[in-house]
Amino acid sequence: MEELLRQTQERWFVFLEKLEVRMGEMCNAAIPELKAIFKEDQDPYKRAHGRMLAGLLGQLRRMQDQANEVKEDKILGLIYSSGVFTSNDFREACFNRHYAFEKRCHDYTSLLREAAGQQDLEAFYQEQLASFALIKDQFTCKQCGGKIAISKMFFIATYVTCLYCQTQNTFMPSSGAQMVLHNARSLAEQRTAHLLKIYEERQPKDPALYQQYLRAMFDQWNQITPDMEEENEKFYLRLLKDNSINHL
């Protein structure tokens, strides 16, 4: 029995090590690709990057499945079949090795998820502001051809009235401007991430710090999309209320 346990443990260790080596090879080869795809992908939702990442994470999960199946069959199977004859050393060594393998999977998962970094929403927003500055005086009335100055950045189709003939025109924002609305909260969160970090790192949790973060985040959000301020503030009050309940 001792010899069987020794051999099984050795094979288990070798098996997991091989999986870890393969995992390392796959991730190390993929990370530069992930970064490049994220950078080059013109799709604002970065779907090509998302699909590649999902595929890699799927392969990591398959390796975890492989390890779990072998653990169930060969390690637990041996423990159950030999009953009291299995030493605690065998059990502990095999479980600890599997724990280390799982931790490695977790680390590689984080590495892949974080490889591309965050989308620079600030740069995108500034680009859209600059683009808007260029086109805001180029809109003309469909009826009389008079110039219509667009007073501010609109994010959805909006009626604008011609000052000369009072005709109602429809201003269609660019797809970039529409994305500003879509990204507004994320950009506000990026701008105030340092305040959230302070709240998250403080132990015990301090509700005042969360409120400070939330107010700052909504101030930024309102600054990016001023037309949404009224609605945003209603949402802010709801989050504040939810948060006070959670901190009771």
Partner 1 sequence: MSNNPLLEPIHGISLEDYSAACAKLGSGLSEEAIAKVLGVELPVWQEANLLWPERMKQDQTYEIMTLFGQYFAQAGQHPKFSNAVNGGAEDAGYTAQIKADKDFYQELEVARNVAYEYGLDGAQWIADKYGITLGDFQIAASKWNTQIHAEIQADFQEYTQKQDAYNAKYRQMFASAQGGNVADDITF
Q: What are the residues binding partner 1 (CB under 8 A)?
A: 11-12, 15, 18-19, 22-23, 26, 47, 51-52, 54-59, 61-63, 66, 70, 74, 156-159, 170, 181, 228, 231, 234-235, 238, 241-242
Shortest spacing between CB 198 and partner 1, in angstroms = 25
* Shorter beta-carbon distance to partner 1: residue 36 or 157: 157
Q: Are 91 and 13 in contact (CB under 8 A)?
A: no
* Shorter beta-carbon distance to partner 1: residue 22 or 194: 22
**CA 31 and chain centroid, separation:** 16
* Shorter beta-carbon distance to partner 1: residue 159 or 204: 159
Shortest spacing between CB 171 and partner 1, in angstroms = 8
Shortest spacing between CB 213 and partner 1, in angstroms = 18
Residue type, 54: A
* Shorter beta-carbon distance to partner 1: residue 58 or 204: 58
Shortest spacing between CB 240 and partner 1, in angstroms = 12
Distance separating alpha carbons of residues 141 and 122, to the nearest angstrom: 33
Q: Are 94 and 70 in contact (CB under 8 A)?
A: no
Distance separating alpha carbons of residues 57 and 115, to the nearest angstrom: 13
Alpha helices in 151-206 (DSSP H): 175-191, 193-201
Shortest spacing between CB 232 and partner 1, in angstroms = 8
**CA 64 and chain centroid, separation:** 23
* Shorter beta-carbon distance to partner 1: residue 55 or 146: 55
Nearest in space to 240 (alpha carbons), one of 215, 221, 223: 215
Distance separating alpha carbons of residues 215 and 97, to the nearest angstrom: 46
